Structure 1
Amino acid sequence: MKFKRNAAAMVVVLMLAACGDAARAPAAGEPADDAACALDGMSLKDYPGPKAQIVFKDGHIDYFCSLSELFEVLFGEDGQRGIGASYVQDMGKADWNRPRGHWIEARNAFFVIDSRARGAMGPTIGTFASKEEAQAFAAREGGRVIDYSQVKPDVLKLGTKPARDAHDDSMR
């Protein structure tokens, strides 16, 4: 009887552990040097400012050279279909001019909108893991800090001009 109880308890523990694994977001990838934006084919490494990525449930990753493009996809017709997680770079740690690594889940980030900071498409959205770092950036570069729950198409002014058509040609 004691063996059956221990075995049953072990099965429950294993099932709970498996549930925890299933609930974890897929890990962010690091784009290769030749990685291109999923929407417009621009090289990620050639432009300053934070990049973004969507990791799909099947393991495929789409990279984006700007946050506007990430949100264009997230707010688009397909919305969250097949998406495992979305990531942005923590610009409190990454080099603004040549950002690499420092990926954080977009839903945990703080966003600085309407700043003077420039990225692949001219004006860009800054992304930070820390609210304090986002506020410090906004104090230097202008703009305002919002969290993920406040990210909406009208707040980001998306839809007025498709992100893939809005690239700042002076950056090329």
Structure 2
Amino acid sequence: MNYRFFKTTIATAIAVLAIVVTSGCQNESASLPPPHEITDSTVSVLDGMSLKDYPGPKAQILYADGQADFFCDTLGLFSVYLRPEHDRKVRAMYVQDMGTADWAHPTGHWIDAKQATYVIGSKKPGAMGQTFASFANRRDAEQFMKSEGGTLYRFDQVTIDMATTDGGVVKDHNM
């Protein structure tokens, strides 16, 4: 076997492998569709409440079919997304960064819901009472938790039992 051919073949294989590996490791959020902005007519899919009329973080799910569901608080997003019967293909989920958004009248400041840090069980009310306060920066979440109480969670740590709209963890003040 020709040594030069072998060396070239190995170098080419390594280069192709490097391209494949790095393309698979690119930031997933780079391919996410942009979030929708809230308008005067934007209402929660769960109860028809106007998102602009209430305090606290809002949320949205963008589906593969182009449709979007909005939620007047982040608890609603989790209560829908984590249901066992939820089978719609999700393209993206967004929540508002409460480290930069105005709690009383949040607009914009959308972040990838899966990358956010959440404070659950705080005394700061959202649209439906206690909510999952969402933050892009963990330090902002820790500061919020120190002043408002609650516990820090990552997206993947939130369970359906925590996201019940009938009480559950958000009503447990002992946590």
Q: State the TM-score, normalizing by the size of structure 2.
A: 0.75
- Equivalent position of 1:130 in the other structure: 137
- Equivalent position of 1:87 in the other structure: 94
Deviations 1:52-93 (A, max 9, x none): 000111221111001111111101244252211111000001
Q: Which runs of 5+ in 2 are unaligned?
A: 1-18, 169-175
Question: What fraction of aligned residue pairs are identical, expressed as a percent?
Answer: 44
Q: Judging changes above 3 Å, is the alpha-carbon distance between structure 1 residues 75 and 28 closer, same or farther for their aligned structure 2 residues?
A: same
How many residue pairs match? The answer is: 146
Q: Judging changes above 3 Å, is the alpha-carbon distance between structure 1 residues 20 and 66 closer, same or farther for their aligned structure 2 residues?
A: closer
1:33 is aligned, of 27, 31, 40, to: 40
Deviation at 1:116, TM superposition (A): 0.2
- Equivalent position of 1:60 in the other structure: 67
Pairwise CA RMSD = 2.6
| Bigger mean CA offset, 131-140 vs 80-89 | 80-89
Deviation at 1:111, TM superposition (A): 0.2
Higher Cα radius of gyration: 2
Q: Please state if 1:115 is matched with 2:115.
A: no
- Equivalent position of 2:77 in the other structure: 70
Q: Please state if 1:152 is matched with 2:146.
A: no
Contact 1:26-1:57 at 8 Å conserved across structures: no
Q: Judging changes above 3 Å, is the alpha-carbon distance between structure 1 residues 33 and 139 closer, same or farther for their aligned structure 2 residues?
A: same
AA partner of residue 158 (structure 1): T
Deviation at 1:48, TM superposition (A): 0.1
Q: State the TM-score, normalizing by the size of structure 1.
A: 0.76
Q: Which runs of 5+ in 1 are unaligned?
A: 1-11, 163-172
CA distance in 1, matches of 2:102, 2:153: 21
